[in-house]
Every structure is written in C-alpha cells, then in structure tokens.
Structure 1
Amino acid sequence: MGRAPEFTLYGDDSCVMDAEFLHLELLGSRSRRFGWEIADHCHRGLFQLLCLLDGEVKARIDDREYRLSGPAAICLPPGTVHGYSFVEEAQGFVLTAAERLLTRGPDQAGALLRPLLRTPRLLDLRRDWPARERIESLFGQLLAELCWPQRGQDLMVGWLLKAILLMLARLIDEPDGAGAAQAAERELLARFHALLEERYREHWDIPRYADALCVAASRLNRACLKLSRKTAFAVTQERLMLEARRMLAYSAWPISRVAYDLGFNDPAYFCRRFKRQIGLSPSEFRARI
C-alpha cells in the first residue's frame, strides 16, 4: 500500500466513478459509528466539505494538524489526505461531490468556486454570523431535497450546491479585485493544477506544461506568482514533495521504491531534493511521524 486508504465515503468499500456523484449527511451519522475518530484517508476525484456547526474537531490534513471550533468549514480538494477527531456529539454536515460536478461549464460560478478546489481551506464562520445562518439553511434545504425528491430535483440540487459553495468562496480573501484579466489567470492556474495532477510523476519542465496549456511559459509563471505567490516550478516541486510525504507517511515502502514510484531514477538524488525542500531527509521525516 503506497498511499493513504481511499474511500468514496469513509468506511465504505464501494467505489463510485459517477461524474454526477453527490452525497450529503449529518456529521454524526458516520462519525458516531466510528467513535468520533475518522482515520486518515483520501477521496480520489471527490471534493469534500465539512461544515462544523457546533463542537470541536482536531483535523489532520496531509502532515499538518489543526484545531477548530464550530461554526467552521473545511474544504478539501480531491486526493487530500485527511482525518478527524471530534468531540462527542459534534454537529454539522459532510458533503462529498464529484469534482467534475463542480467544475463543468465555463460560467462565472465555476471560476468563483475554483479557489475552493485548488488547496485545502479552513474557514472560520464565527466572524460572519449572517453567512453562517444562510449556509446552515442552505444545507438543510439541500438535505431535504436529496431525501424527498420532487419535480425538478436535479436543478434544485445544483442551485443549492452552488449557493453553498459560493457563500464559502466569498469568505476567501483573493488578491486584488475580480476582473476579466484575473478571471483568465484563475482559469489558467486551475488548468495547470489539473494537468499537474496527471503529470507530476513525469517531471515535466515548465515550458512543456506551458505548451500543453497553449500559453507562454512566462505567462504561466506570472499567473502562479500572482495567485499562488510561488513560481510555476515551485508549484510543481511542492506537489511532488507533497506526494512524497504522503507515501513516506502511509506506506512501509523502502525509500528507494518511493523514489522510483515518483519518477526519480536515482534514490540518492531524491533524498537530496527532499531534504533541500522539506528540511529533513526522507528517513528523518518518517522517523518523526
């Protein structure tokens, strides 16, 4: 096993590849079953949103740990390794949706939602109680629609889902205003991240990524610097080392096998790169877990 366990829904063996997949449940319905402890796992191709309305949670996201008190929201892009330790009887909602369900279509809503899909987000809803009340109401309406479908269910579910996510997207501080140029940069960065997910093990250089995206390498680099505050090359290396940390943490593979799986021909070179970027050698990193 080279990676964290993968589930469609935590604890279920079924695998769902439906581009329309959407599931919403009360937080306690699954967490209570597992003693309020959700072990580290991930969801491939599925976005997950935890809305904690009341209670506390210790959230483990990749190799970092956070403590949150409700009301709060945790947005997890597909493939993010995460686990939770809740105080008993914590309350809220857990929404799981196919990534393609959220990103299809070139409409403005899609562009506004992309910040939620790029990187894990922890949002404190205590600072905006009107938004918190609206989000809770929308979750309740969405749950009712899914439990008791009526005419036009697909449309209603789509509208409610987008409304919830747009309310959360408003809470994210994006640099500069939202104009046509910035929207184009966000679109480019989203396409870059999607392509990177497919190709990071192949160690493409930035000109090759730029060619595949039909833009100049300088434009790709500017978009990364403006929106991610990192160079395009740094983004690729960060993604590669994130997967390296996941594999070192969740597998017993020898370091050499981890290196080969990540596309390195020389394990010693992988170890040097890892230490330069993370500050620890792979063996030191694994020993601290």
Structure 2
Amino acid sequence: MDYLSALKSLRLVAIPRLAAGGRWRVEAMRAYSEACLLWFTKGQGRITIAGVTRGYTAHNAIFIPPGVMHGFEVGPQVFGTAVFFGRDCPVPLPKEPQHLRIRETFAAQELNVTLDAILREMSADTPAHDRATLAHLGLLGVWLERQIARAAPEQQKPDAAKRLVARYTALLEREFRSGMGVADFANSLGVTPTHLTRCCKLACGRPASALLHDRLIFEARRLLSETDLPVNLIAGSLGFTSAAYFTRAFQHQTGKSPTAFRRAG
C-alpha cells in the first residue's frame, strides 16, 4: 500500500459543519464506509451507536468503525472535531465502537495537540509534510489504543439485549434497501418481532421499526439532495413497493413531500 497516497482521503471536520446541510445529516441513523473519530470539546447530547444510546459530554472521544450504524444530537452549543480516516487508513485502528470519557486533563490536551498537528501538516506545503502527517496520525492511533486499555477495567460487557440490537443494526445497514420489514429482520435473527422491538426499546428507547424508518429516510434525503434521480427511482432503490407509498412515508417522517424537500434544498 502507498501510505502517503492513502492519506489523501484523511479529513478533519468541525462537528458543527457536519450538520450544515441539515441536522438530519448527523441525527438520522446511517453508517460510513470509513472509520470515524468524534472528539467533543464542548456541549452535550445523546449518541446512538449500533442501536445503543448513551449521553456524551465535553471530552468524550467516540470511535466508530466503518459500517456501524449511528446518529447523534448536535445542538448549537456542541463543538469538536470529526476525523474521517479514509477507506485505506495505514494506521491500526480499533475494530469495535468505543466511547471514551477522557477525565485526565493531560490526555485531552494530548489529543488536541495531535489533532492540531495533523491539521497543520495536512494544509502545509513544506517538505515532507505528508510523512509528518502520517507520523502524527500514527500517534493518534497510539493515543486511542492507550485510552481504550486504560478504560477497559470500567467497560461493561453488553448484555444480551444490546448484543441482539447490535446484530440487528448491522444487518439493517446491509439490507435496508431490500424492502425487508421488521418481521423479516427478526426472522433472520432468530427472534420474534416483539422481542426485537423490546430489546431496541431497552437499548435506545426506540422500537425496531423506528431505526429501520430512520435509516431509509436518511438515505432518501441524501439521494434527493445529492442526486437528480427521479422520486420513483429513489423509491424503488430503497425497496418501497410504489412511489406513492414512499411519498407518504417520507412526508410522515419529515413533514415534507420528497419533491418539496428537494426544492427546499
């Protein structure tokens, strides 16, 4: 692998900018094809990762591997940095989601300094700035590994309900375009729809159907705002049996018809 070429997809984005096109871009359930680190420096809210909802506050570092469904609140007082590592990140990264509550001031400062250094070298035109970026990115990977090891004794293993919901959200992320309903997902997971919904409510306060609809409507909004695909093709690509059914579901979730949403964007 050409490590320096892989760095071209590395991005650091201010968290408020993630919601610049609408809060739905961060609050609705979705997944990235690359790993992401959210570092909150101010504010608080709730974040749902793999179907489990927790609160976050300042000095929380949240690592989300590729393909893991998530969404989080981002109010006007929330600030921080999102690191998108790209699909071919050369640095070893965690395989599981991590929610790290950084209590030591020096550890928070260390992360801030590392992120500042990455951003500075990425935007520089000085000799070897690519290698310097890679070196600081490696230090970010080390910081994550050490903080995860430090937090390990306090981490609680997920109970059976949370494990089931994590399996559901992983399957949902792969198959949400298929037209499957909650009963189909439950059958694939070997449980009843009632049990799946009960576990979802325990893990994140929402029924299984809400997670499914949230994921579908996020994708619909993304396609409406970022492509010129006709509404009927978007409906079909998301497994809806008709454009009329899709329009009713979209309007129920967003308060606007697909056409009105596209026009407003």
If the TM-score is normalised by the length of the shorter chain, which range does it land in?
0.5 to 0.7
- Offset at residue 152 of structure 1 (A): 0.5
Cα deviations across residues 26-72 of structure 1 (Å, max 9, x unaligned)?
Answer: 2223335535961322111x110011111113212121211111111
Cα deviations across residues 154-188 of structure 1 (Å, max 9, x unaligned)?
Answer: 11111111112211211113799xxxxxxxxxxxx
Which of 74, 83, 98 matches 1:121? 98
**1:280 is paired with a residue of what secondary structure?**
helix
Q: Establish whether residue 87 from structure 1 lines up as the match of residue 87 from structure 2.
A: no
State whether residues 36 and 86 of structure 1, in contact with CA within 8 Å, keep that contact through their aligned partners in structure 2.
Answer: no
In the alignment, structure 2 segments of 5+ residues that lack a partner are 201-206, 212-265
State whether residues 59 and 85 of structure 1, in contact with CA within 8 Å, keep that contact through their aligned partners in structure 2.
Answer: yes
Q: Establish whether residue 69 from structure 1 lines up as the match of residue 92 from structure 2.
A: no
Name the residue aligned to 1:169. 145
Name the residue aligned to 1:244. 171
Higher relative contact order (CA 8 A, sep 6+): 2
How many equivalent pairs are there?
Answer: 191
Cα deviations across residues 184-223 of structure 1 (Å, max 9, x unaligned)?
Answer: xxxxxxxxxxxxxxxxxxxxxxxxxxxxxxxxxxxxxxxx
> Percent identity of the aligned residues?
16
In the alignment, structure 1 segments of 5+ residues that lack a partner are 1-17, 104-109, 177-228, 231-235, 260-266
Q: Establish whether residue 41 from structure 1 lines up as the match of residue 17 from structure 2.
A: no
Would the alpha carbon gap of residues 98 and 168 (structure 1) be closer, same or farther in structure 2, given more than 3 Å must change? same
Which of 208, 211, 214 matches 1:286? 208
State whether residues 183 and 192 of structure 2, in contact with CA within 8 Å, keep that contact through their aligned partners in structure 1.
Answer: no
Q: TM-score, normalised by structure 2?
A: 0.59
State whether residues 68 and 170 of structure 2, in contact with CA within 8 Å, keep that contact through their aligned partners in structure 1.
Answer: no
Q: Establish whether residue 50 from structure 1 lines up as the match of residue 51 from structure 2.
A: no
Cα deviations across residues 68-127 of structure 1 (Å, max 9, x unaligned)?
Answer: 111111100001111121231322111101243235xxxxxx3xx4xxx311100011x2
Would the alpha carbon gap of residues 62 and 251 (structure 1) be closer, same or farther in structure 2, given more than 3 Å must change? farther
Name the residue aligned to 1:7. none
Q: TM-score, normalised by structure 1?
A: 0.55
Would the alpha carbon gap of residues 151 and 57 (structure 1) be closer, same or farther in structure 2, given more than 3 Å must change? farther
Q: Which amino acid aligns with 1:149?
A: D
Aligned partners of 2:166 and 2:77: how far apart in 1? 36
Aligned partners of 1:31 and 1:57: how far apart in 2? 14
Q: Which amino acid aligns with 1:243?
A: A
